Homo-oligomer: A and B are copies of this chain.
Amino acid sequence: MENKAQIAHRCLLLENKAVTGDWFLLTLQAPLPLQARPGQFVQLRLGPGTDPLLRRPFSIHHEDSIAGRLRLLVRVAGAGTARVAAFVAGQEIDLLGPFGQGFPYPEEKAKALLVGGGIGMAPLYFLAAQRRREGLPFDFLIGGRSAASLPADAYFREHRLEPSLATEDGSRGFRGTVTALLEHRLLTGPQPGRIHACGPLPMLARVAEIGRARGIPTHVSLESRLACAVGACLGCAFPFHRDGAVEYRRVCRDGPVFNGEEVCFES
């Protein structure tokens, strides 16, 4: 009952536009502001009928909680996200949320390093925009396969973000993975107060390792197949270290953001 703002929202889809080949930016008008925190997510209904049955989770990419405008950045990964890509402006979108714990320490003044791998940059963008607005220091690192797999610079300008990019083929920014860029940054720059990361699992494992090795508190946002999203079904369990044993925690409710040191990446 801690999250009284959780409600169902019948949003109006204001715009759905391709950002890269398979990334789509949805701009929604919610009837009420969700007042979401960066790292929280919503659950989208994909259509009427019962196939697909389950909602799909998407991080909040940005919320203008005064205007009640919401943005989701969606990568087409399968049949469900393909439906989202096909949504058309003017359509009503059935959305629940916000769910989950956001990134912690939102007001911390120490410099935060935000590390996004591919579409994993979606929630970090919200975090970065918030820190920018509040004048809190941060660096935003984003990795992708190639220049074309990441949004153009203009995409970030709306919130005066200037992320450092890394591409595996070196076609834009640093040549290499975003974790290599992170290591490079840690070698060359001052030690940040905290690392926040979101992206594919191997990348998060590496970021958590880097953070641990250097004693930098690191939080990672995990993914899992969700059903209920409220913590009731135990479907989204992910293994964690606890007192030498493995314990399952719920990505939807206990996370999706977790202390990187506790996540059991090995399994």
Chain A residues engaging chain B, CB cutoff 8 angstroms: 47-52, 79, 83
> Distance in Å from the Cβ of A234 to the closest Cβ of chain B?
26
> Distance in Å from the Cβ of A250 to the closest Cβ of chain B?
28
Chain B residues lying within 8 Å of A49, measured Cβ to Cβ, are 47, 49, 51-52, 79
Distance in angstroms between the alpha carbons of A83 and B48 in the assembled complex: 9
Chain B residues lying within 8 Å of A79, measured Cβ to Cβ, are 48-49
Sort A-B residue pairs by CB-CB distance and give the 8 closest, nearest first: A51-B51, A49-B51, A50-B51, A49-B49, A49-B52, A47-B49, A47-B47, A48-B83
Distance in angstroms between the alpha carbons of A65 and B50 in the assembled complex: 37
Distance in angstroms between the alpha carbons of A48 and B79 in the assembled complex: 10
Chain B residues lying within 8 Å of A52, measured Cβ to Cβ, are 49
**A-B CB contact pairs (8 Å), 10 listed:** A47-B47, A47-B49, A48-B79, A48-B83, A49-B49, A49-B51, A49-B52, A49-B79, A50-B51, A51-B51
Chain B residues lying within 8 Å of A48, measured Cβ to Cβ, are 79, 83
Report the nearest B residue to A46, measured CB to CB. B49
Task: Name 8 extra pairs, CB < 8 A, besides A47-B47, A50-B51.
Answer: A47-B49, A48-B79, A48-B83, A49-B49, A49-B51, A49-B52, A49-B79, A51-B51
Distance in angstroms between the alpha carbons of A51 and B49 in the assembled complex: 6
Chain B residues lying within 8 Å of A50, measured Cβ to Cβ, are 51
> Distance in Å from the Cβ of A13 to the closest Cβ of chain B?
14
> Distance in Å from the Cβ of A180 to the closest Cβ of chain B?
40
Distance in angstroms between the alpha carbons of A52 and B52 in the assembled complex: 11
- Highest count of chain B CB atoms <10 Å: which of A50, A51, A52, A83: A51
